[in-house]
Structure 1
């Protein structure tokens, strides 16, 4: 129980991930990773009602053994956050409604915030989940390796936007005022990295006005003729639908890639990953690998069939189809596993750790954090 509580207490430092602050004022607005509210309290209540971990592990092992003997499908419980980290799953979700897929009987849950997902993982009530990248590292550290990352599923979703036409490169940000949300979490670390790597001191050469919600940044843009903001997709698309003067000036993912192009082991700006409980992976390797194959097919479908995918995204109440159609090309939905995943993700976590070790759970994960088929 103490281990559960320490894990969930740590999440209050981590649930506002890259592009992660949701819009409390209007819960219908999409965000990359919705903001947690009262995370520790709600999670603690869930933990206190949960069975002991040893009982869960025994039950899972017995179920796996029974399935192996009877030839039954493996039950796989999957959770994802409302936003880009769930969009790549929609084709698999749709296919799974007709029955088991490649031997797996899926149960999908779309959650509004990370503090709905993390207790389920920690207590063994979810097997696989799409979560913010650094939250995966926090969970790994606070569960003593009980969480592994399967794949990167979303690269950066942060963009610099403005109502004017003054920003053409990162260097143009010098001397500007930037409205942003996510102070003390990875949006701040990503912005600091891009600025400092381009010779701009985040504390002296720019003015960063931190807001609690994305909507406040949009409002600031509307009132400041020369205003600049950092926003995530699909919120950028939503904001543009309300103010046609807003334009994308910089793609933070491309800016990160430009800085990394000559690196010996290049990292990437990463929003989300798919994780699995280590015990579930050890007991059901075939089911996990089948999930990865099916998930890759789903991601490929979403990236290759924008309008049809947008309809499915609306079907599963992630964001409206009209928003999804415009936002999908900018959401950087991907599927990266194996050695490439390890290279890009470990480098990204290193950048965060250099600025604040708490952002990754105190220390960088060991090699067993990275799942390998």
Structure 2
């Protein structure tokens, strides 16, 4: 079985931008290892692992590089060349259900979505009544999460509010700065970038609502979303369990470092990823880094997958993944 290129690009495009995902690890010949990550803020976790992690003692050479396209990601995962992949959690479930030999190692980021607005009166989901909300990625995870939240609040798109869609977070930011959108759903670091750029233009943009908190209110659970983590090829699980355990511990250490040292994390992001240091520094409190083993996060993941599947079963491959999906190190 296989996942279509179009579907994969749709899933990863939304998930990586929305989740601001931390990275890919690709096993190379011999004892060289390259950690790959998307060009967005939370890849600083993996860049820091490559530069400072204890997992470096398990191999001769460890470095970090940025991947640039979902096509590059797709071919690497499906071919097995990318043995450890940073990926939206629901995309990992989809691949697993399509028969790709992978397991989820952990959750690294617990939600990065925010409603930002030029209207300072927007404080709760109820306040969007009668408004138009602009967001990227129609019918993908951020859209489904928002629809679930509003349905639980008794609100219906097209009746109680209107959703307007754009192709990418960057397009949403540009619409906001040009006055074509005033209430938007954005991931980090795009939300922080919009606020900083707005300030430089004399436009006040507020961080109005945390989608994570709204999700917790709608579900009766924790105010967080198990959005993205590391997906492992089973070959690497079989051959290098000690390395994976070391990387998991490094993820914990490096995430804590980034949270506690936002200015230094900003410099690292600018050097390795190309995001302006100030944007990363200001966005760090809102990225929700917490490297949690998949087995520990399993209950929340299953709840998240089930709720997404209520609106679109295809997003997780038609069914909940079984227990083998959740790696136990």
Q: Aligning the two structures, in what range does the TM-score lie when normalised by the shorter sequence?
A: 0.7 to 0.9
Distance 1:100 1:268, change over 3 A: closer
Aligned-residue CA RMSD in angstroms?
2.7
The one of 296, 299, 323 aligned to 1:367: 323
Per the normalisation by structure 1, the TM-score is 0.78
Please, which runs of 5 or more residues in structure 1 have no aligned partner? 22-30, 34-58, 68-73
Q: CA deviation at 1:115?
A: 2.7
Distance 1:313 1:242, change over 3 A: same
> Quick check: 2:113–2:211 contact (8 Å CA) kept in 1?
yes
| Residue 81 (structure 1) aligns with | 38
Q: CA deviation at 1:320?
A: 1.6
Greater shift, 225-234 or 118-127, is seen at 225-234
Q: d(CA) in 1 for partners of 2:309 and 2:41?
A: 24
Q: Deviations over 1:47-66 (max 9, x none)?
A: xxxxxxxxxxxx99xx8xxx
The one of 213, 235, 247 aligned to 2:206: 247
The one of 156, 165, 171 aligned to 2:126: 171
The one of 300, 310, 315 aligned to 1:344: 300
| Residue 267 (structure 2) aligns with | 311
Secondary structure of 1:20's aligned partner: helix
| Residue 16 (structure 1) aligns with | 13
Q: d(CA) in 2 for partners of 1:223 and 1:297?
A: 40
Q: CA deviation at 1:250?
A: 0.3
> Quick check: 1:132–1:273 contact (8 Å CA) kept in 2?
yes
Are 2:157 and 1:202 equivalent residues in the alignment? yes
> Quick check: 1:10–1:138 contact (8 Å CA) kept in 2?
no
- 1:199-348 to structure 2, matched below 5 A, reads 199-222=154-177, 224=179, 227-244=182-199, 245-261=204-220, 263=221, 268-348=224-304
Distance 1:226 1:164, change over 3 A: farther
Q: Deviations over 1:298-342 (max 9, x none)?
A: 111111111112111111124121111111111112211143311
Q: CA deviation at 1:249?
A: 0.4
| Residue 90 (structure 2) aligns with | 134
Q: CA deviation at 1:225?
A: 8.7
Distance 1:203 1:237, change over 3 A: same
Q: CA deviation at 1:148?
A: 0.7
Structure number with larger C-alpha Rg: 1
Q: CA deviation at 1:280?
A: 1.2
Q: Deviations over 1:117-159 (max 9, x none)?
A: 22112212121111122211122122x2511111111121111
Distance 1:197 1:102, change over 3 A: farther
Are 2:161 and 1:161 equivalent residues in the alignment? no
Per the normalisation by structure 2, the TM-score is 0.88
> Quick check: 2:195–2:206 contact (8 Å CA) kept in 1?
yes
Q: Deviations over 1:232-278 (max 9, x none)?
A: 111112112221211110011111123334x5xx6842331111101
| Residue 193 (structure 1) aligns with | 148
Distance 1:330 1:278, change over 3 A: same
Please, which runs of 5 or more residues in structure 2 have no aligned partner? 22-26
Secondary structure of 1:149's aligned partner: strand
- 1:60-139 to structure 2, matched below 5 A, reads 74-95=31-52, 101-104=56-59, 105-139=61-95
